[in-house]
């Protein structure tokens, strides 16, 4: 076996031979990996803590093999479904939770949470600037849907960020007499900021409650679950939401979302999802209880690997002269890494080789297309076992300057590392990077 310094291992050699990788690329990535061991230990400690938290919740709720059975029809008496929601309630330290497979996305879960609070004529305020692209159409900032929140009689405003931080001092000036809700987006989304940490969100929460304790606070927790020791639900907010094909699904859950928070608000969200008088009592799980809970159990380790891989990407591209958000030394509060690629051809190659490195549909080449909910063409690589699962290895970005790619997920750190090696090898051969 060829030895490159003392870093070439038997699996490196196999990867080099099978994928025709330049040894300089493998050496480069291994060197970056060595520099990150202290950060990796931080991520491991968080994962272990969250693993124990989830295990204890399942034990305290008395999870049994018979809970994986499921009903038909209306879904009455589905003890597994109820057990899932009790476990989520305990993990997130809230009064109640709605965890359902017929919540079709994170955007759907967020919409349920917002509508559970607002009444026509109410004003709601985003303190984390403009929300993620798909929610802009829900609100009515883009598009012409008659069913948007603005067109349905709600008022909306947002506070710009200051140096990519929440403008705490300006919150009071934006709150109106009819403000009933403040919303916060934890994750990066398609923005040029890092995810807000839970402690940063808490500063804003405390300020809102100081101004008016009756104002409800919602946090979009998508991509953020189990990246820290605590969740936004533990800092005084009223309700939060997320997706089961992101972090808490652990790559096993087929679909679904959750809303967690104050009992009265969860009841209202359930009534919106089904119908008043039905609420949480009905709704089939379609045999997904096992996948939901097994995915949840595995999610701390999956999230750890995703963050390890994201940090490896960040540090590698930083040393190649690219700007990354967050940087490899920044605190992590979601699984998303944005890399400013500056050139459309680099964005396309990036997504092409993430797809090429995937276990599913690796032979396909992503191309930019008009994706529903977005104004710009979007290119997306997602060779996933579960279509649309953002906890699996994926990358996407809008075809607009400065050509950010948003990289996230990975069920295995080793897979993420190999994808990075494949990508850098392609960029090196195209003379788009120097190593």
**pLDDT value of position 9:** 76
The C-alpha atoms of residue 91 and residue 96 are separated, in whole angstroms, by: 11
- Is 242:225 a contact under the CB 8 Å cutoff? yes
DSSP state of 182: E
Assign a CATH topology to domain 10-48+299-429: 3.90.1150
The three-state (H, E, C) secondary structure of 20-38, written as one string:
CCCHHHHHHHHHHHHHCHH
Helices and strands counted in the chain (H then E): 12, 12
Q: How many CB atoms lie within 10 A of CB 222?
A: 27
384 Cβ contact list (under 8 Å, min separation 6): 358, 360, 392, 393, 394
Residue 282 tokens read as 């009905």
Instruction: Give the C-alpha separation, 113 to 330, whole Å.
Output: 30
**191's tokens:** 């923005």
The model's pTM is: 0.95
Please name the residue that has the structure tokens 């996407």.
396
Tell me 369's DSSP state: B
Sequence-ordered list of residues with C-beta below 8 angstroms from that of 42, at least 6 positions apart, any chain: none
Q: Which residues of the chain have pLDDT under 50?
A: 1-5
What is the per-residue pLDDT for 371? 79
Per-residue model confidence as pLDDT tens digits over 183-208: 999 999 888 899 999 999 999 999 99
Domain ranges of the chain: 10-48+299-429, 66-296
CATH number of the 66-296 domain: 3.40.640.10
In angstroms, the first-to-last Cα distance of the chain is: 23
Return the pLDDT at 2: 43
For the stretch 266-313, pLDDT in tens is 999 999 999 999 999 999 999 999 999 999 999 999 999 999 999 999
């Amino acid at each position: 076996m060829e030895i490159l310094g003392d870093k070439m291992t038997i699996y490196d050699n196999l990867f080099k031979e099978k994928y025709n990788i330049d040894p300089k690329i493998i050496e480069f990535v291994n060197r970056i990996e060595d520099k990150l061991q202290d950060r990796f230990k931080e991520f491991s400690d968080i994962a272990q803590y969250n693993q124990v938290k989830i295990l204890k919740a399942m034990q305290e709720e008395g999870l049994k093999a018979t809970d994986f059975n499921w009903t038909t029809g209306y879904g009455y008496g589905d003890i597994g479904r109820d057990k899932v929601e009790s476990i989520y309630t305990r993990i997130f330290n809230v009064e109640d939770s709605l965890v359902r497979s017929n919540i079709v996305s994170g955007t759907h879960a967020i919409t349920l949470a917002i509508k559970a609070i607002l009444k026509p004529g109410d004003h709601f305020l985003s303190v984390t600037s403009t929300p993620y692209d798909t929610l802009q159409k829900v609100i009515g900032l883009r598009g012409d849907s008659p069913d948007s929140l603005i067109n349905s009689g709600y008022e909306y405003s947002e506070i710009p960020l200051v140096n990519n931080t929440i403008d705490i001092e300006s919150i009071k000036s934006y709150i109106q007499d009819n403000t009933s809700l403040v919303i916060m987006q934890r994750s990066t989304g398609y923005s040029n900021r890092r995810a807000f940490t839970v402690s940063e969100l808490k500063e804003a929460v405390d300020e809102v409650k100081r101004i008016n304790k009756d104002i409800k606070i919602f946090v979009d927790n998508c991509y953020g679950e189990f990246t820290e020791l605590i969740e936004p639900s533990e800092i005084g907010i009223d309700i939060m939401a997320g997706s089961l094909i992101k972090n808490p699904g652990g790559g096993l859950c087929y679909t679904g979302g959750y809303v967690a928070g104050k009992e009265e608000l969860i009841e209202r969200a359930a009534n919106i999802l089904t119908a008043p008088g039905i609420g949480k009592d009905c709704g089939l799980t379609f045999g997904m209880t096992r996948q939901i809970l097994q995915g949840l159990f595995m999610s701390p380790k999956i999230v750890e690997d995703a963050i390890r891989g994201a940090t490896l990407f960040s540090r590698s591209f930083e040393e190649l002269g690219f700007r990354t958000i967050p940087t490899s030394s920044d605190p992590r509060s979601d699984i998303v890494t944005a890399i400013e690629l500056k050139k459309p051809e680099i964005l396309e190659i990036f997504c092409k080789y993430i797809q090429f490195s995937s276990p599913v549909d690796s032979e396909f080449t992503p191309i930019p297309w008009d994706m529903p909910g977005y104004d710009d063409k979007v290119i997306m690589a997602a060779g996933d076992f579960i279509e649309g699962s953002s906890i699996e290895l994926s990358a996407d970005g809008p075809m607009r300057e400065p050509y950010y790619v948003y990289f996230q997920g990975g069920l295995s750190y080793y897979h993420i590392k190999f994808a990075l090696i494949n990508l850098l090898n392609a960029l090196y051969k195209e003379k788009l990077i120097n190593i």
